[in-house]
């Protein structure tokens, strides 16, 4: 004999049942023997109930420009909780052509979390209507289907906020010559207010101008120079100078936007070249009269730099002792025409670049005539004295027993 379990198509309060089964022999006679057993019956739930929204219409509002969850959608499902027959899957079936929304299931309570993933624009569209569909992870049993209650409508209202002005283009790139006169026009800034329905005004100001070269008209947005533009400035990188401007509207509260101005600076021949190195050494008894090879350097770009012309200074008599010969477009060779005693000599040179008009620079190279012994150079530590003719005359007379010497050049020597 066994207890009979009543059939019921409704959802049962539990999924596990324990039955006690009693068996008797001798047709159940009281003098017969009996035995008992326990039967455990587990009922596996099938997805025979479709999820249904608790409301046919949900409403939400969101500020333009923001993202995040805007509303939670709730559903009822009479299947066993925490099973695949109960867990919900939400989807947007209509009303989101720009894919500005997403919906995901909250695993804790089975609610649908509708989120804005692309900021909405009040001026473009103030109202959005979405059709949301809900299903289960498990398919429904064949004789059960999803009804009208498995879809819901969501109305999303976009709220207007004061947005900051937007620069266009950003960055704004212009080309200007360096060293233009102060007050010269550089560029016109263009910032517009997205809040087209509010008819707000915009004012401009300088936000970051590292070298302090620029000014801006607060109403018109025209940028002019307030100091000379210098391509060789440490604030210029790859011939480009960058400044940042700010635009502020008159909304409440006021909103701001920033824009970048990049000025590509064309080179102007405003830097004279110079000679390197500034010191050269030679042995007093050297058979090779070549002192050193010197080169020209210029902060300006071609064609305002090389080729350089390097020549002796204009002081009379220099060409009796020194000679400068060109090696290539940037370097020249300094040579001594006769031996000199150990001393320090200041050799005047003139270097000229190829700019139009060209720029020249009068400079000096310190030539140290040293005593050389056993591969070591012993040079004078005394300073050079310009126009020290008696000392220079005595030095040269010791080295030039023959010939006439003209000492009318601006050179000093200190005998070591």
pLDDT tens string 25-48? 777 677 778 888 898 887 776 878
pLDDT digits (tens, 9 = 90+) for 200-231: 899 999 999 999 999 999 999 999 999 999 99
Q: CA 41, CA 6: separation in Å to the nearest integer?
A: 13
Domain 166-266 fold = Immunoglobulin-like (2.60.40)
Contact indicator for 214, 225 with CB cutoff of 8 Å: yes
Q: CA 110, CA 93: separation in Å to the nearest integer?
A: 19
Selection from 55, 281, 267, 18 nearest residue 150 by Cα = 55
Where along the chain do its domains lie? Answer: 15-44, 52-159, 166-266, 274-415
pLDDT digits (tens, 9 = 90+) for 364-396: 999 998 988 888 888 887 665 453 333 343 343
pLDDT for residue 192: 93
Strands 75-76 and 52-53, sheet pairing: antiparallel
Top-level class of domain 274-415: mainly beta
pLDDT digits (tens, 9 = 90+) for 346-368: 999 999 988 888 989 999 999 99
Q: Domain 52-159: what homologous superfamily?
A: Cadherins (2.60.40.60)
Q: How far apart are the first and last CA of the chain?
A: 134
pLDDT mean over 101-122:
95
Confidence tier at 294 by pLDDT (50, 70, 90) = very high
- Are 52-159 and 274-415 in the same CATH fold? yes
pLDDT for residue 247: 97
- Which tokens sit at 395? 């030095």
Sole residue written with tokens 């695993």: 107
Q: Given a cut of 70, is residue 115 above it in pLDDT? A: yes
Q: What is the sign, positive or negative, of the torsion defined by CA atoms of 274, 280, 284, 287?
A: negative
142-151, 316-325, 354-363, 407-416: the lowest-pLDDT one: 407-416
Q: Counting every residue, how long is the chain?
A: 416
């Amino acid at each position: 004999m066994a207890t009979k379990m009543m059939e019921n198509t409704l959802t049962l309060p539990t999924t596990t049942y324990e039955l006690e089964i009693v068996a008797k022999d001798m047709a159940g006679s009281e003098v017969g023997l009996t035995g008992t057993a326990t039967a455990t019956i587990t009922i596996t739930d099938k997805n025979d109930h479709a999820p249904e929204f608790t409301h046919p219409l949900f409403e939400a509002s969101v500020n333009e420009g923001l993202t995040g969850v805007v509303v939670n959608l709730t559903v009822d499902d009479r299947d066993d909780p925490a099973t695949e027959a109960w867990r919900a899957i939400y989807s947007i079936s209509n009303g989101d052509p720009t894919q500005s929304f997403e919906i995901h299931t909250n695993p804790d309570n089975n609610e649908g979390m509708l989120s804005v993933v692309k900021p909405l624009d009040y001026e473009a569209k103030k109202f959005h209507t979405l059709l949301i569909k809900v299903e289960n992870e498990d398919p429904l049993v064949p004789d059960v289907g999803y009804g009208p209650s498995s879809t819901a409508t969501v109305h999303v209202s976009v709220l207007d906020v004061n947005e900051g002005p937007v620069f266009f283009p950003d960055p704004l790139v212009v080309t200007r010559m360096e060293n233009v006169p102060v007050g010269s026009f550089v560029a016109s800034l263009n910032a517009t207010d997205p809040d087209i329905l509010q008819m707000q005004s915009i004012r401009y100001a300088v936000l970051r101008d590292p070298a302090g070269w620029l000014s801006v008209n607060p109403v018109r947005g025209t940028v002019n120079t307030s100091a000379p533009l210098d391509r060789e400035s440490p604030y210029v990188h790859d011939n480009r100078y960058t400044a940042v401007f700010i635009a502020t509207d008159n909304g409440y509260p006021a909103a701001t936007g920033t824009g970048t101005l990049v000025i590509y600076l064309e080179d102007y021949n405003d830097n004279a070249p110079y000679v390197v190195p500034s010191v050269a050494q030679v042995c007093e008894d050297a058979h090779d009269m070549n002192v050193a090879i010197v080169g020209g350097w210029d902060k300006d770009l071609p064609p305002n730099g090389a080729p350089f012309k390097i020549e002796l200074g204009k002081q009379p008599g220099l060409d009796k002792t020194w000679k400068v010969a060109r090696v290539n477009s940037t370097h020249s060779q300094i040579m001594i025409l006769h031996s000199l005693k150990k001393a320090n000599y200041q050799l005047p040179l003139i270097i000229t670049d190829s700019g139009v008009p060209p720029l020249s620079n009068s400079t000096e190279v310190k030539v140290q005539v040293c005593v050389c012994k056993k591969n070591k150079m012993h040079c004078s530590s005394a300073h050079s004295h310009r126009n020290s003719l008696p000392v220079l005359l005595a030095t040269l007379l010791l080295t030039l027993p023959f010939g006439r010497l003209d000492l009318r050049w601006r050179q000093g020597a200190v005998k070591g």
